[in-house]
């Protein structure tokens, strides 16, 4: 694989904190939670009654007819992609923007896929019979539907990949996009992930496996990474998209560059289908792999946007990973847990958190972790509870993502 340098030239998101990147960044810096009490009729019977709904509904943005042909997860994907594409300076399709569509790719993930489409059509089948099931159900529910619709919208023909690695999926999309460019298969790739799983069945399933917090207090205080009172994650929804390009391609067209993808690492725990390796060995291999991939000195890492879901075991394991990979330098690293505000976006998490990591580098300001009242003594990290300034000069930041099945992805971004 070549050492082609890969840079970020566009970003887009829709999530519980904001309907675009600017609003999201302002909300994260302000410590604003997007977690709310669910108002759906079905929520009253659920063991968990809170979640992170997106701040701006797709109906306020997308054409109504087009939206009806898309699962909610794909709706989020197209909204975030449109912002990222325009932010990168492109208009219309790839060819209309002066690009060769054969050199534009997609690496866009989902952890679960079109679960709301699947379950609603199953309800229709039971209640009204097979003739009433939507003929669009399969192209709406398939996990690669968001990637396919992005490819169709922008005429991106290099590839339309869909990594499905649970909660690590969005970050894996960024890693695969980086590989596409380094392998010479594309000049520009739309990368990231999406999820829309706020539905009775996923909520009941996550709750019954003791993964979700059952705290029924103020919804904005329930997601609390590293706090001694944490008892599980808060389900969220949303999407994030990055436009990645080779540095040469970006410079040739005079593009604004936010950051560089310095290195990526992927590993598997091979430990348990749901629980992380308690020693954090798998995640450590992913982080070490990202550092090796970019020939990165651990001392250049000044900030980590951690996976930090608020699960008792996961938060401790991630702390061990950072100590194992960054050594004594970990004491000089500012750590943020933005899921304290967004909730856990599953397949969209790694993408949205990549955006937060890049914005932190770009503005030299790490976002806070909210709801951290009493830090777990087993987690020996410098966790920002207020916005924290980052150093000047050439610096790097790490984004971690881990998922069920033992999936681990680490991405290191560098200032430029």
Is the pLDDT score of 412 beyond 80? Answer: yes
Same domain, 225 and 349: no
Same domain, 226 and 355: no
Q: Are 385 and 368 in contact (CB under 8 A)?
A: yes
Domain presence at residue 129: yes
Residues of the chain with pLDDT > 90, as a percent, come to: 99
Same domain, 289 and 176: no
Residues of the chain with pLDDT > 70, as a percent, come to: 100
Non-local (6+) Cβ contacts of 66 within 8 A are: none
Domain presence at residue 257: no
* pLDDT tens digits, one per residue of 72-127: 999 999 999 999 999 999 999 999 999 999 999 999 999 999 999 999 999 999 99
Is the pLDDT score of 1 beyond 70? Answer: no
Q: What is the pTM of this model?
A: 0.97
Same domain, 321 and 240: no
Average pLDDT over residues 267-287: 97
Q: Residue 310 is part of which domain span?
A: 263-414
Burial (CB count within 10 angstroms: exposed 0-12, middle 13-18, buried 19+), residue 268? middle
Domain presence at residue 210: yes
Dihedrals phi, psi of 352, to nearest 5 degrees = -65, -40
* pLDDT tens digits, one per residue of 346-386: 999 999 999 999 999 999 999 999 999 999 999 999 999 99
Q: Distance (Å, rounded) from C-alpha 336 to C-alpha 125?
A: 45
Residue 319: helix, strand or coil by DSSP?
A: helix
Same domain, 248 and 267: no
Q: Torsion-angle region of residue 98: left (phi > 0), alpha (psi -120 to 50) or beta?
A: left
* pLDDT tens digits, one per residue of 320-340: 999 999 999 999 999 999 999
pLDDT at residue number 289:
98
Q: Are 352 and 13 in contact (CB under 8 A)?
A: yes
Q: Which of 34, 287, 336 is nearest to 171 (CA)?
A: 287
Same domain, 277 and 203: no
Same domain, 300 and 390: yes
Report, as residue numbers or ranges, the catalytic residues: 167, 307, 344
Same domain, 289 and 215: no
Q: Are 112 and 197 in contact (CB under 8 A)?
A: yes
Which long-range CB contacts under 8 A does 204-209 form with residues at least 24 apart?
A: 204/46, 204/47, 206/48, 206/235, 207/46, 207/47, 207/48, 208/47, 209/274
Which domain-ending residue is among 198, 223, 252? 252
pLDDT bin (cut points 50, 70, 90) of residue 135 is very high
Which domain-ending residue is among 203, 226, 252? 252
Q: Distance (Å, rounded) from C-alpha 321 to C-alpha 171?
A: 17
Same domain, 313 and 375: yes
Same domain, 306 and 246: no
Is the pLDDT score of 45 beyond 70? Answer: yes
* pLDDT tens digits, one per residue of 204-255: 999 999 999 999 999 999 999 999 999 999 999 999 999 999 999 999 999 9
Q: Distance (Å, rounded) from C-alpha 235 to C-alpha 199?
A: 10
Same domain, 168 and 77: yes
How high does pLDDT run on average in the chain? 97
Per the structure, how many domains does the chain have?
2
CATH number for the domain that contains residue 58: 3.40.47.10
pLDDT bin (cut points 50, 70, 90) of residue 3 is confident
Residue 17: helix, strand or coil by DSSP?
A: coil
Domain presence at residue 1: no
Same domain, 248 and 268: no
Q: Distance (Å, rounded) from C-alpha 38 to C-alpha 44?
A: 8
Q: Are 207 and 201 in contact (CB under 8 A)?
A: no
Domain presence at residue 258: no
Which domain-ending residue is among 206, 231, 252? 252
Burial (CB count within 10 angstroms: exposed 0-12, middle 13-18, buried 19+), residue 228? middle
* 3-state DSSP helix/strand/coil % of the chain, to nearest 5: 40, 20, 40
């Amino acid at each position: 694989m070549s050492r082609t340098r890969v840079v970020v030239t566009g970003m887009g998101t829709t999530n519980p904190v904001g309907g675009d990147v600017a609003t999201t960044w302002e909300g994260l810096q302000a410590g604003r939670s997007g977690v709310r009490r669910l108002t759906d009729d079905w929520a009253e019977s659920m063991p968990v009654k809170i979640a992170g709904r997106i701040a701006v509904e797709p109906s306020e943005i997308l054409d109504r007819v087009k939206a009806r042909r898309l699962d909610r997860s794909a709706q989020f994907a197209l909204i975030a992609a449109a912002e990222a594409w325009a932010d990168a300076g492109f208009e219309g399709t790839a060819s209309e923007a002066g690009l060769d569509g054969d050199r534009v790719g997609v690496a866009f993930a989902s952890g679960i896929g079109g679960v709301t489409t699947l379950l609603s059509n199953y309800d229709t089948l039971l209640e009204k019979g097979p003739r009433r099931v939507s003929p669009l159900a399969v192209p709406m529910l398939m996990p690669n539907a968001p990637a396919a619709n992005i490819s169709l919208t922008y005429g991106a023909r290099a590839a339309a990949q869909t990594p499905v690695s649970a909660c690590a999926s969005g970050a894996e999309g960024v890693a695969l996009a980086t590989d596409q460019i380094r392998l010479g298969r594309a000049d520009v790739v739309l990368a990231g992930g999406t999820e829309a799983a706020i539905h009775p069945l996923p909520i009941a399933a996550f709750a019954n496996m003791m993964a979700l917090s059952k705290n029924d207090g103020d919804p904005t205080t329930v997601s609390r990474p590293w706090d001694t009172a944490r008892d599980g994650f808060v389900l969220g929804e949303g999407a994030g998209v990055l436009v990645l390009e080779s540095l040469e391609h970006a410079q040739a067209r005079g593009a604004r560059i936010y950051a560089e993808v310095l290195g990526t690492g992927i590993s598997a725990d091979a430990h348990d289908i749901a629980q992380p390796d308690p020693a954090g060995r798998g995640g450590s291999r992913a982080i070490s792999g990202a550092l090796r991939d970019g020939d990165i000195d651990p001392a250049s890492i000044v900030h980590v946007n951690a996976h930090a879901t608020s699960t008792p075991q996961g938060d401790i394991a991630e702390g061990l990973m950072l100590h194992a990979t960054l050594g004594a330098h970990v004491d000089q690293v500012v750590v943020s847990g933005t899921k304290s505000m967004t909730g856990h976006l599953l397949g969209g998490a790694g993408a949205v958190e990549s955006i937060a990591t890049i914005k932190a580098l770009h503005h030299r300001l790490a976002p806070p972790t909210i709801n951290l009242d009493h830090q777990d003594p087993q987690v020996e990290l410098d966790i920002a509870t207020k916005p924290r300034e980052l150093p000047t000069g050439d610096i790097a930041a790490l984004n971690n993502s881990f998922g069920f099945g033992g999936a681990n992805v680490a991405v290191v971004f560098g200032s430029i």
